[in-house]
Chain A
Amino acid sequence: MLEVKDLKVRYGNIEALHGISFTVNKGEIVTLIGSNGAGKTTTLLSLSRLPKPEAPTVVSGDIIYNGESLLKIPPHEIVSKKRIALVPEGRHIFGNLTVNENLEIATYALDKGTDVKAGYDQVYSLFPRLYERRKQRSESLSGGEQQMLAVGRALMCGADFIMLDEPSMGLAPVLVQDMFKAMKVMNESGMTILLIEQNARIALQFAHRGYVINTGEIVATGTGAELMEDPEVKKAYLGG
């Protein structure tokens, strides 16, 4: 589904990714793990093609999505045409709107006449908590609920490929578990997921495959279970 080929990107004069390659197949959960500054978020930003100044400049390499290069597509069409949704780091929900309105806004990218009710049903059955709070201004939600909303919003875009940037950030451990379980449910209903995580243990536990990224290069790859057993990975990311 997604194939990243020898991608090199830079911020100004600093090269942040020195040629990374990885693939995500349809129906998979793939995770990119790595420490701070390894280039995880940079990878995601180059994939989502946000306009400058957010996104880095792609120097060389290619991003192929369903046989087509994403580099030639204007950023706003990534959602509306390619149906790739991003759950950005720090959630970025519209705080002055209610939960329901936030979800409604996500349908902005859908074609006219699309059945949006199914989308609401899916989001609210996945996150019953959001249903309880649907009339509340979203800035009054807790961190975990906001994260749920950000994921829910991505679901409403009609995406079949979701990229999540550190969904566990700032959440209590029990909420992290819930979040990953919800992701599993989404995956089982056909969603392909690319997940960026610092919390390597839980990410590898839920992912089909994983890549370890370190200072802009992929240093290890394998299935979730394989990486969990890898002595190098164990030492560096799982705490021995």
Chain B
Amino acid sequence: MGKYQQKTIMIGGGILFGLLLILAQFKMIDLYVQSVIMFIGVNIIFATSLSIVNGYMGEFSVGHAGFMAVGAYVSSLLSVILFTVDKETGMSILPPSMSIYLFPIIIIVGGIAAGIAGLLVAIPSFKTRDDYLAIITIAVNFIIITALNNMDFVGGSRGYMGMKKVIYGMEGIFKFPYMLFWVITFAIFTVFLIRRFITSTFGKGIIAIKQDEVAAEIMSVDTNHMKLVAFMFSSGLAGISGGLFAHVIGYVNPGSFSILKSTEGLVMVYLAGMGSLSGSVISAILFTILLELLRPLQIFKWVLIPLILIIVMQFRPEGLMGDKELSDYFPKLKKFYKFK
């Protein structure tokens, strides 16, 4: 594989990304399409991060949205407190113009907070195995939602807003589709990061845990340590997706991170195939578009989508991609990008 070809995809992707930004900048694509693209980005981060634990490590975490909530609330609170004049949080601590530079850092801080929450959950839960992890993570999801519902300073069940002010503040200084830029940047960054993580020696250990934990242990894989790190990494990325989600919508309420959101993540991962990064990306894209297309069906889309999952499990139980990557189906792609 030549360096030249690898550069091609980077340049090609860059041009595409730039084109998208220009189109958005001059309002050539409407806000609705922009928001769908942003949701795709958020879902890509959410699904690929869940695929570390549920796909590559073979554990069954069901409360991923809980960590998304942690990231969403932490980064929302931070950006509102730091950059806006609010009747509850008072004057802005930093000049609003700094938000342009500090925004990604705020999102990452939200991710770190979610990662710490993930670690706190992982320490007790990986003393157990299999179904118990699922039960614990469901419980954690409920705990986080209930806690948020009862915290008055983040609005309780009414939700929390004010993030739009930050975004408008940024746009007021220089007109640019900031959120679109950051969502896509973070999504690309996440996918690259996970790919590196999974293909490292450390990642091989994680895949070994999925295949046979006892065998991994007697091959001197420090399974407990690896599970903690993988879970923390996964929930940290979920926190990043949460932070972006909150700023895209400009409003968060505990209800949007309920068990239903966790289920969406599971659907995306299992639709994609367990242990396929490109699969998770593709299924996040398809799933988000599907959700939009099925909007006219209103609540019935939640009948149709699980039905699709049932059909996939019947006829292709390993998911759309199984543990294969896109390049395994289209070997010519390897010329441009090394998938694993």
Residues of chain A having any CB pair with chain B under 8 Å:
48, 50-54, 74-80, 85-86, 88, 92-97, 105-106, 108-109, 153-154, 157
Residues of chain B having any CB pair with chain A under 8 Å:
127-129, 201, 208, 211-212, 214-215, 217-225
> From DSSP, what is the main secondary structure of chain B's interface residues?
helix
Those 3 A-B pairs whose CB atoms lie nearest each other, nearest first: A79-B220, A109-B220, A76-B222
Q: A51-B223, A92-B212 are in contact. Are A79 and B218 (CB under 8 A)?
A: yes
Apart from A76-B217, A106-B219, 19 more pairs, CB < 8 Å? A50-B214, A50-B217, A50-B218, A51-B217, A52-B127, A53-B127, A53-B128, A76-B220, A76-B223, A79-B219, A80-B220, A92-B218, A94-B208, A94-B211, A95-B212, A108-B219, A109-B219, A153-B219, A157-B220
In the assembled complex, how far is the CB of residue A111 from the closest CB belonging to chain B, in whole angstroms?
A: 12
Instruction: Please indicate the chain B residues that have their CB under 8 angstroms from the CB of A80 in the complex.
Output: 220
Instruction: Please indicate the chain A residues that have their CB under 8 angstroms from the CB of B217 in the complex.
Output: 50-51, 54, 75-76
A54 and B214 contact, CB distance less than 8 A: yes
- Alpha-carbon distance between A48 and B219 when the two chains are bound, in angstroms: 11
A79 nearest in chain B by CB position: B220
A53 and B129 contact, CB distance less than 8 A: yes
Instruction: Please indicate the chain B residues that have their CB under 8 angstroms from the CB of A96 in the complex.
Output: 211
A80 nearest in chain B by CB position: B220
Q: Which residue of the partner chain, among B211, B212, B220, contacts A108 with CB atoms under 8 Å?
A: B220
In the assembled complex, how far is the CB of residue B140 from the closest CB belonging to chain A, in whole angstroms?
A: 20
Interchain Cβ contacts under 8 Å between A and B, 11 examples = A50-B214, A74-B222, A76-B225, A92-B212, A92-B214, A93-B215, A105-B208, A108-B201, A108-B219, A108-B220, A108-B221
In the assembled complex, how far is the CB of residue B336 from the closest CB belonging to chain A, in whole angstroms?
A: 27
Instruction: Please indicate the chain B residues that have their CB under 8 angstroms from the CB of A88 in the complex.
Output: 214-215, 218
In the assembled complex, how far is the CB of residue A22 from the closest CB belonging to chain B, in whole angstroms?
A: 21
Instruction: Please indicate the chain A residues that have their CB under 8 angstroms from the CB of B215 in the complex.
Output: 88, 92-94
- Alpha-carbon distance between A76 and B201 when the two chains are bound, in angstroms: 15
B132 nearest in chain A by CB position: A53
Instruction: Please indicate the chain B residues that have their CB under 8 angstroms from the CB of A92 in the complex.
Output: 212, 214-215, 218
Q: A92-B214, A94-B212, A95-B211 are in contact. Are A105 and B219 (CB under 8 A)?
A: yes
A107 nearest in chain B by CB position: B219
A150 nearest in chain B by CB position: B215
Instruction: Please indicate the chain A residues that have their CB under 8 angstroms from the CB of B225 in the complex.
Output: 76
A52 nearest in chain B by CB position: B127
In the assembled complex, how far is the CB of residue A90 from the closest CB belonging to chain B, in whole angstroms?
A: 8
- Alpha-carbon distance between A94 and B215 when the two chains are bound, in angstroms: 7
- Alpha-carbon distance between A96 and B218 when the two chains are bound, in angstroms: 17
In the assembled complex, how far is the CB of residue B324 from the closest CB belonging to chain A, in whole angstroms?
A: 13
Q: Which residue of the partner chain, among B208, B219, B223, contacts A157 with CB atoms under 8 Å?
A: B219
- Alpha-carbon distance between A75 and B214 when the two chains are bound, in angstroms: 12
- Alpha-carbon distance between A235 and B340 when the two chains are bound, in angstroms: 59
Instruction: Please indicate the chain A residues that have their CB under 8 angstroms from the CB of B208 in the complex.
Output: 94, 105
B212 and A93 contact, CB distance less than 8 A: yes
In the assembled complex, how far is the CB of residue A204 from the closest CB belonging to chain B, in whole angstroms?
A: 26
